[in-house]
Structure 1
Amino acid sequence: MAFDPTTKHPLYLAFAPFWRLMRDAFDGEDAVKARGEIYLPMKSGQAAIIDPIARQKAYDAYRMRAEFPELVAPTVRGAVGTILDQPSTIELPSALEPLREKATRDGLTLEGLHRRIAIELMTVGRYGVLPGVAQDGTPYLAGYVAESIINWDETDGRTDFLVLDETGLVRNRETGAWDTVDVFLECFIQDGAYTARRWTQTQNGWVADEEIVAQDRKRRALDSMPFVFIGANDLTAAPDDVPLYGLAKLAVRVYRIDADYSFALHMTSEPTPVAIGFDDPKDAVENGRAPTTLGSSKLWLLPPGGDAKYLEFSGPGLEAQSKAIQDALSRAVVFGAQILSDSQRTAESGEAIRLRLGNQTSTLKTIALNSAAGLERALKNLAVWMGANPDEVKVTPVTDFFDHALSAQDITALVAGWQAGAYSWRTMFDRFQRGELIPADRTADDELGQIDQENIERDTSADEVAALTPRAA
């Protein structure tokens, strides 16, 4: 049987629905509503409508009134902003220095690629990086989202087979039109060498390009696949759990409840007038004897013994739906969407904040470490390809996300403790440095030297002032 480049790994098929939900939840209301009944099932009353056009119009109105809460995208952006608020320290050999300004073929800087990796890990928990060398010898890194890494295999824990979906739009240079071209990159180890070929869908079926064996600067074949799997928890090939999947599910839950709530409001928010006493209501309406309009200029004539009143919904059911929405939004806060909370916490000590946010920041720390480790491994693989020393590559993320700035009261208390002999000056210096009062790159000896210099300058100024001060006769 012929090789089929579109075959997907069983784990890919298992995780694809999770990734789809996260993408749609991240993209927001328009993307979710475009999925129709996948996220918002049709009500039984709508499904019972026989006319398909009327049935669809009823569902469209039901869906249009609903609001999908924007929870996932702000949480992802906020988390990545926290992770990369201070950029990672990246050390590179000279051969890879150009990557700092242009790491990918689409122009991302190395820092920009790191941010993209972090966003993907927070969104779907998976990303891939394939190092490469252009024909002119320029190194680059190619990134692949989770949905593009469709098939893989390993032998003794080492990846030796991989298929990447590179399908995309290609402009027809003659007509200017854009067409979708199905392309898949197959990577594999053959005879101990890293080999790759591209498969393209044509009118005659799948056609493979010539196999290419990757070689380093000394024209030696690479003996391992340079592709790096980056997950939310580790750097293995198996997909990881999606960090914010629970938040996306809560968002869909709120969307469904809000659809019913908005539908009920639409159906019951306005009082309905009722006229009573007509023997044949249909005949009375057709012959203009029954009232059909409201207003001070419209006279209602009722038959003997007739009556008129309003039917109005009292609302207990709506209150329950509203409460359910608020409860779901409150649960969303637990998953990291603090931006939804409208309550201010009382003053907390730094240690109390650390304890309260410990579990939350553990996820951020894991993402920070894995994104940096994956980028570092990809750069090391590229260094080997370029004939550089991979040991010169190092990516060190910042994993302390707390604000350690000292207050005036903290500073006074620290100085008082030092003056009382409770701890040494160097201990106090370390605490000041961690509290961002003293620059992080300044040593204790440097600080003492500056203090001595200021004392000398202060004493000199005092002597000059004394010399210039007139003395009494």
Structure 2
Amino acid sequence: MDVTYTRPELTAALRRWRLVRDVCKGSEKIKGGKDDYLPKPNPQDKSKENEARYDSYLARAVFYNATGRTKNGLIGAVFTTWPTLKVPKLLEYVNTDIDGVGVSIYQQSQSVIGHLLEVGRHGLLVDYPAIEGNASLADMQAGRIRATVTSYKAEDIINWRTRQVGGQHVLSLVVLKEQYEEDTADGFGQEVKDQYRVLRLTEEGRYAVEIWRNEGGWNLYDYREPTDGRGNKWTEIPFTFLGSESNDSSIDDAPLYDMAELNIAHYRNSADYEDSAYLVGQPQVWMSGLDEQWRDWMQDNGIYFGSRAPILLPQGGSAGILQAQPNSIAKEAMDAKERQMVALGARLIEQGSGAKTATQEQNENAAEHSVLSLVVSNVSEAYTKVLEWMGAFMNANGTMEYTLNQNFVRVQIDSNLLASLIKGVQAGLIPQSDFWRQLRDYQLIDPEKTDDDVRDELETSSTGLGLEDADDGGESSTV
């Protein structure tokens, strides 16, 4: 039994994922990869001189991280409006700590979106402390026992399997690579070791968790069958894949891969451009008509070069300056790649963009937004499912929902439009619920407030929301 078995489609994707991950980490990571990302101009030469020349070639290269900045910009666009979270009281702790180590659901979902943009795949596992029988409500309310959500990178989900149950395919096996810490013999240091967490459905249809560790070979270290808040065995694995296209077990495309490839090509062009500027960018003095005596004297004493330092030459001698003609091939190649990255969605490096209407902005970024919208939709759906599993562990009832913003273009509402909308509501031509939805879209109303919340606040307000109506003599009415 080989618990370390890795699916071949995962192995095939690792090179692409590593490229995007490294590019998004920035210059230090890319330059640390040396000839993985910047080939040596003459790799057959193994001399120390050639190694030193390559180090200089590498140091002068400039890595402009358009891909990482684009990823961060897209995440920021999602969180310009705060997500909507609806959970019962027992799950309110996810606002500040969803994973048991102090990461909130908002922070974790930001990280998940970043992973999906980079590699197009991620995983979330809901877990619960091992207890005997039913969990105490007092323990859950005090936070001593609570369900948590652990986030897994695509590279650590090494094996999975589905099987058909009734009319649908369900996960029957997931193998996750993890690390754990073990104290050294002196009690001061710690050693990080690998372990594998196996999630499986048994032949009887019960959910079981196995921990495998290498102790003279890979052996089963721990086994348990988790129960829900009522003490019942689980009949499904509370693990969900997240993808850039769908939340199934298949491996989706990495949205930023094409941009990362261009980013590396741009980096290589930059290395050639900077190397060329260094080698031939400095003007060089030449002289002719010197005899050996003049030559030897100048070699021994040197010359001063500049308008205040005349060069004395023998009769018939001459001097001049060699200046290389501009070579813009590498620079043009860099510019072309920057334009290609802009076309792929790198809005943050686009130059000369003036103020645009919302319609123009939406049209120009439709492709980018469609990818981001799909990612955001998948994350919202996955977290809603995760919250339901947490509710089952905690024996909590009520609405469980997590919805991320999909309106990525900030639009300023026109004052005339707002006045017309209010008049439409006052005249009974626009339902109040539609009007409030519009105000949520424009971020004039907290998106987490329901229609009932808004109505209650207006009814209890001393003044309400009024608008002078010129048609009725300036009387104030309330929406």
Do the structures match in fold with TM over 0.5?
yes
Q: Indicate the residue corresponding to 2:79 in structure 1.
A: 84
Letter in 2 for 1:49: D
Question: Is 250-259 or 176-185 further displaced after alignment?
Answer: 176-185
Aligned CA distance change for structure 1 residues 206 and 411 (closer, same or farther; 3 Å): closer
**Secondary structure at 1:211's aligned position in 2?**
strand
Counting only pairs closer than 5 Å after superposition, residues 191-230 of structure 1 correspond to structure 2 as 191=203, 192-202=205-215, 204-230=216-242
The answer (yes or no) to whether the contact 1:271–1:310 under 8 Å persists in 2 is yes
Contact persistence 1:12–1:150 (CA under 8 A): yes
Measure how far apart 1:145 and its partner are: 1.1
Q: Structure 2: which amino acid aligns with 1:213?
A: E
Kept in 2: contact 1:129–1:229 (CA 8 A): yes
Q: What letter is aligned with 1:243?
A: P
The SS at the match of 1:230 is strand
Within 5 A, what are the aligned runs for 1:2-41?
Answer: 3-41=1-39
> Which residue does the alignment assign to 1:55?
50
| Structure 1 residues 337-372: Cα deviation after superposition (integer angstroms, max 9, x where no partner) | 222123133553x33333333222212211111111
| Paired residue type of 2:322 | L
Question: For 2:312 and 2:53, how far apart are their aligned partners in 1?
Answer: 35
Would you say 1:312 and 2:319 are equivalent positions? no
1:99 aligns with 2:127: no
Contact 1:195 1:211 in 2 (8 A): yes
* Alignment gaps of 5+ in structure 1: 461-473
Q: Report what 1:295 is aligned to.
A: 304
1:126 to 121, 124, 132: 121
1:108–1:411 CA distance, 2 compared to 1 (3 A): closer
Counterparts in 2 of 1:105 and 1:443: CA distance versus 1, 3 Å = closer
Partner Cα distance (1:301, 1:291) in 2: 15
Secondary structure, counterpart of 2:85 in structure 1: strand
Q: How big is the shift at 1:397? A: 2.7
Which residue of 343, 347, 356 maps to 2:364? 356
Deviations 1:427-464 (A, max 9, x none): 799568626496475469969x94789899x879xxxx
Could you tell me how far apart the structure 1 residues matched to 2:288 and 2:112 are?
Answer: 68
- Once the two structures are TM-superposed, the CA of residue 259 in structure 1 deviates from its matched residue by 0.2
Helix, strand or coil at the partner of 1:150: strand
The residue aligned with 1:345 is: 354
TM-score scaled by structure 2?
0.81
Distance 1:98 1:182, change over 3 A: same
**Equivalent residue in structure 2 for 1:324, among 317, 322, 333:** 333
SS at match of 2:222: coil
Secondary structure in 2 aligned to 1:241? coil
* Residues 454-465 of structure 1 mapped to structure 2, 5 A cutoff: none
In the alignment, the residues of structure 1 paired with residue 107 and residue 443 of structure 2 have an alpha-carbon distance, to the nearest angstrom, of: 30
Distance in 1 between residues matched to 2:236 and 2:57, nearest whole Å: 55
**Which of 178, 183, 186 is matched with 1:174 structurally?**
186
Give CA deviations for 1:91-137 in whole Å, capped at 9, x if unaligned: 22444333332110221112222222222112222111111112463
Distance 1:205 1:273, change over 3 A: farther
Q: How does 1:62-461 map to 2 (within 5 A)?
A: 62-135=57-130, 137-156=145-164, 157-167=169-179, 170=182, 172=184, 174-191=186-203, 192-202=205-215, 204-276=216-288, 290=299, 293-295=302-304, 307-315=318-326, 317=327, 319-345=328-354, 347-348=356-357, 350-389=358-397, 392-408=399-415, 410=417, 414=420, 425-426=429-430, 434=438, 436=442, 439=445, 441=451, 442=454, 450=464
Secondary structure (helix, strand or coil) at the match of 2:430 reads helix
Cα distance in 1 for residues equivalent to 2:423 and 2:93? 50
CA apart distance, 1:323 = 1.7
Write the distance in 2 (CA, Å) between the matches of 1:198 and 1:428. 55
Letter in 2 for 1:331: Q
The alignment yields a C-alpha RMSD, in angstroms, of 3.7
Aligned residue identity for 1:228: T
Change (3 A) 1:292 1:158: farther
Write the distance in 2 (CA, Å) between the matches of 1:168 and 1:298.
70
Determine the structure 1 residue equivalent to 2:139.
Answer: none
User: What SS does the corresponding residue of 2:242 show, helix, strand or coil?
Assistant: strand
C-alpha spacing 1:357/1:459, structure 2 compared with 1 (3 Å)? closer
Contact 1:275 1:291 in 2 (8 A): no
Distance 2:172 2:275 in 1: 54
| Separation in structure 1 between the aligned mates of residue 313 and residue 24 of structure 2, nearest angstrom | 57
CA-CA distance at 1:39 after TM superposition: 0.9
CA contact (8 A) 2:421 2:430 kept: no
Rounded Cα–Cα distance in structure 2 between residues aligned with 1:437 and 1:88: 12
User: What is the aligned residue count?
Assistant: 443
> What's the CA shift for 1:214?
1.6
Distance 1:169 1:261, change over 3 A: farther
1:76–1:122: 8 Å Cα contact kept in structure 2? yes
- How far apart, CA to CA, are the structure 2 residues paired with 1:345 and 1:210? 61
Whole-angstrom CA distance in 1 between matches of 2:373 and 2:63: 29
Deviation at 1:237, TM superposition (A): 1.1
Uncovered stretches (5+) of structure 2, i.e. residues with no partner: 131-143
Which residue does the alignment assign to 2:140? none
Instruction: Flag the 1:384–1:289 CA change in 2: closer, same or farther, 3 A.
Output: closer
Q: Give the superposition deviation at 1:14.
A: 1.4
Comparing 165-174 and 263-272, the one that deviates more? 165-174
Offset of residue 374 of structure 1: 1.0
Amino acid at match of 1:74: R
SS in 2 for 1:229: strand
Tell whether the 8 Å contact from 1:99 to 1:139 is kept in structure 2 after alignment. Answer: no
The one-character-per-residue Cα deviations of 1:364-420 (angstroms, maximum 9, x if unpaired) are: 21111111111111222232333444x7322233322333432245457x489979x
Give the residue type in structure 1 aligned to 2:254: V
Once residues 372 and 416 of structure 1 are traced to their aligned partners in structure 2, the CA distance between those partners, rounded to angstroms, is: 32
